[in-house]
Chain A
């Protein structure tokens, strides 16, 4: 497809379970971002990749969160030992560069029960 694709669209996890969220960016886009959007809030920055290099992970809320983009295209956001406060929509975005407009995927809605 031509847009940013995220999978799964919805994920229900039991507390303590590990989850992996996938993002397929637009082909050729160098920059890839992950955001977390809690209910009623705006998206909050988690981490940024330029190709395969993770240049900024200052937004990751704890060491249970880990992101990778090993070949500079597909990215995976992994959350270990999920907690209820991890419930949110996780958005992935890609762009040609930092200041150009980023294109967002539809997001993965994670519910931790």
Chain B
């Protein structure tokens, strides 16, 4: 049973437009959420995070929104650039439990010129 779900395996967006990547989770104990970006043959790179006490965190072109009641978070990238083409993983952490992160399966974002 997947605790972190990314239901879109891929997403294609035109350069300059907004990219919205979605993530749902089932474990209400998760209190910290992260987004990672991964290029082929490289390890995941940390992008942005949000604590469960917040509903929004912004860093440059990247904004993460958290809706705890819906157990949903989203990553907005605006404007989208060609270098944003990568696989994006949503990950979550729970206090007191396993100290690792629980990852979704990833969404492959393709930025079209």
Residues of chain A whose beta carbon lies under 8 Å from any beta carbon of chain B: 4, 31, 33, 35, 40-48, 50, 55-56, 58-59, 91, 93, 98-99, 101-107
- Known A-B contacts A31-B99, A40-B105, A101-B49; the reply to A106 vs B93 at CB < 8 A is no
Contacts of B67 in A (CB 8 A): none
Tell whether, in the assembled complex, residue A44 and residue B99 are in contact, meaning their CB atoms are under 8 Å apart.
Answer: no
- Work out how many contacts link A and B, with CB atoms closer than 8 A: 61
Contacts of B32 in A (CB 8 A): 99
Contact of B104 among A40, A42, A50, A105 (CB under 8 A): A42
The answer to whether B53 has its CB under 8 Å from any CB of chain A is: no
The answer to whether B98 has its CB under 8 Å from any CB of chain A is: yes
Tell whether, in the assembled complex, residue B100 and residue A55 are in contact, meaning their CB atoms are under 8 Å apart.
Answer: no
- Known A-B contacts A41-B105, A42-B89; the reply to A48 vs B100 at CB < 8 A is yes
**How far is A109 from B27 in the complex, measured between Cα atoms in Å?**
30
Contacts of A59 in B (CB 8 A): 98, 100
Tell whether, in the assembled complex, residue B43 and residue A101 are in contact, meaning their CB atoms are under 8 Å apart.
Answer: no
Tell whether, in the assembled complex, residue A43 and residue B89 are in contact, meaning their CB atoms are under 8 Å apart.
Answer: yes
Contacts of B11 in A (CB 8 A): none
Contact of A102 among B6, B98, B101, B106 (CB under 8 A): B101
| Minimum Cβ distance to chain A for residue B27 (Å) | 13
Q: Can you list 19 residue pairs at the A/B interface with Cβ under 8 Å?
A: A4-B43, A33-B99, A33-B100, A35-B100, A42-B4, A42-B91, A42-B104, A42-B105, A44-B103, A45-B100, A45-B102, A46-B100, A48-B98, A48-B100, A93-B43, A99-B93, A105-B43, A106-B42, A106-B43
**How far is A99 from B93 in the complex, measured between Cα atoms in Å?**
8
Tell whether, in the assembled complex, residue B93 and residue A56 are in contact, meaning their CB atoms are under 8 Å apart.
Answer: no
